[in-house]
Amino acid sequence: MARINGGEMLVRALEREDVHEIFTLHGGHLDAIFKACRDHNFRIIDTRHEQAAAHMADGWARTTGRPGVAMVTAGPGVTDAVTGVANAYLDSIPMVLIGGRSPLLDDELLPLQGGIDQVALMRPITKWARSVVHTARIPEYVAMAFRQAVSGRPGPVFLELPIDVLFARADEESVVFPQNYRPRSPAGPSRDALAQALRWIDEAERPAILAGGGVWFAQAGKELTEFAELTHVPVLTNAKARGSISEEHPLCFGAFGAIHPAAHARRGGKSADLVILLGTRIGLATGGRNSVIPGDARVIQVDIEPEEIGRGRSIELGIVADCGEFLRQAIAAARNTKFNRHEAWIEQLTAIRAGQRRKWDEAMKAEQPIHPARMAREVAQALDADAIVAADGGETAAWMANAFKARYPGSFLSHGYLGCLGIGLPFALAAKVAHPQRQVVCVIGDGSVGLNFAEFDTAVRHNLPVMVVVNNDMQWGMSKHGQVLAWGAGNAIATELGVVRYDRAAQGFGAHAEFVERASEIAPALRRAINSGRPSCVNIMTDPDVIEPGTLAMYSAFSSKPGKTAPSENKSDETMLPYYGKRRID
């Protein structure tokens, strides 16, 4: 009777989940898995830092809609992966982190890379965290891990494998590989709730759908587009859902901020009177003190997770359902209804969108210094229609988000609730692994690029020809601009970086390199980078004094005369907190 070890069991279980790619950094605790991966023709993408491996598993899920898998060694391997897992947790991204562990038999003996309760470390930032203590049960735990990662609200999970459990063997015939451990159909809305939602859409003058990750992970982009067309309801998306409805579609109006009441008030109009939160959590832009949702609007929230309904604000109609199933049933129920075309509302949104796109036209004509909006527009124009963009950096990501049109789901990868810098290169590399025939570009700030810069080596070694465009304004842009707005020019603290030749550093890893100082040089440099067929770094020097509108909005509550009133000197009962606005702190 054949005997197989835990590594072989694990890889066979992963194959049953249609996993054939692993993001990792080597550690001897994992060698039984690596050997089995080679035997089963898995693709192993080994990184230069475990944080990058975790980010790549996260990025894989964002661009494919399926869980990514990262493996890290015991001790520092697990602790290095924490940031990547936390980022996925706050954004509800399905990923599986497999961690090595010191031998069970050496517990309390201070073994190498032991002495840390890794499961306890991961529990607050995962949906599910477990340690396997019986070799033959490894396939069962893998099945549990994937079920947890994708069931209900998605999220990361952690599976720990002690080295003595992993290397041990068991009779092949005694190992059970679970089957049929997921529901065959998704949860749908109640008939009454669905009917009420459609009535309110019919009654509304200015409805809007705010679509989030729940739409993307339900693979419901086609249904979202059909429902919008049927009901004539404009659609706005967050970063995870971008492209679920093509941003060239006349009913797609970009990010959630398009319905901000202030934007419409400036034009003498009113904002939305009905908002449908479709698979997007309440927070940041949709809840709390800085919501884009008008206070007098009716709100319908559709979410697979009941605990998300009404988080941070009142909800007039909460519907617990899979977003795809909600849309399918809503389409079927609405086919015989003739809905208001909302022409005036759509015209109002169209005017705001057009104004936003033309906002920087004059500034972008300057040859030097290069306006960051010019940098972003040149990149967007250089790309194929199905290109994938990973945008990283406080202001850089915002410039690129405004310039790029996502035509397909999973084609724009960027920041979420953690506000985690350093995701750009790993996200882009994961996207290239998942979509080798598509263009992939990482547009990144010169601050962010330093966090996982060594992954240029990963790109070169694994022949992943991503183009990395560095928006080099010689500073931590959002941070320095915030200090200038708060305290005036000349008061920057720990936010200046100076001129750094990131192109030369990337070239040292084997990448194609370009250095750009004039606006007219951008397009030729991008073409050369794309045509090189290699990983590339295009280092573009941009104007350090241009402040992205989002930064201006965050710091607008400071004194209108920079340098006159610092937060600590505010004479009112409120204190201005960077990123969060005015707060009363007693």
Q: Number of helices and strands (H, E) in the chain? A: 22, 21
- Chain-centroid distance of CA 470 in Å reads 19
Put residue 232 in one of left, alpha, beta given phi > 0 → left and psi -120 to 50 → alpha: left
CA gap 571, 578 in Å, rounded: 17
Q: How many residues does the chain have?
A: 586
Among candidate residues 28, 115, 355, 419, the one labeled active-site is: 419
Q: Could you confirm whether 29 is annotated as catalytic?
A: yes
CA gap 584, 586 in Å, rounded: 6
Structure tokens at 136: 């033959």
Who contacts 184 (Cβ-Cβ below 8 Å, separation ≥6)? none
Burial environment of residue 384 by CB neighbours within 10 A (0 to 12, 13 to 18, 19 or more):
exposed
Among candidate residues 51, 55, 113, 395, the one labeled active-site is: 113
Whether the CB-CB separation of 576 and 404 falls below 8 Å is answered with no
Among candidate residues 21, 50, 247, 325, the one labeled active-site is: 50
Q: Using CA of residue 412, residue 416, residue 420, residue 426, what is the dihedral sign? A: negative
CA gap 424, 52 in Å, rounded: 10
* CB neighbourhood size of 427 (10 A): 29
Helix (H) or strand (E) holding 194: helix 191-203
Residue with tokens 């697990």: 78
C-alpha dist (Å) from residue 289 to 121, 197, 284, 285 = 31, 26, 9, 9
Put residue 491 in one of left, alpha, beta given phi > 0 → left and psi -120 to 50 → alpha: alpha
* CB neighbourhood size of 517 (10 A): 15
CA Rg value for the chain = 25
Strands 581-584 and 68-72: what pairing?
Answer: unpaired
Structure tokens at 286: 């949709």
Who contacts 575 (Cβ-Cβ below 8 Å, separation ≥6)? 567, 568, 582, 583, 584, 585
Structure tokens at 451: 């966090």
Q: Could you confirm whether 439 is annotated as catalytic?
A: no
Instruction: Tell me the residue type at 584.
Output: R
Q: Using CA of residue 430, residue 433, residue 434, residue 439, what is the dihedral sign? A: positive
Q: Could you confirm whether 17 is annotated as catalytic?
A: no
- Chain-centroid distance of CA 310 in Å reads 23
CA gap 344, 324 in Å, rounded: 29
Among candidate residues 8, 21, 27, 29, the one labeled active-site is: 29
- Residues serving a catalytic function are 29, 50, 113, 419
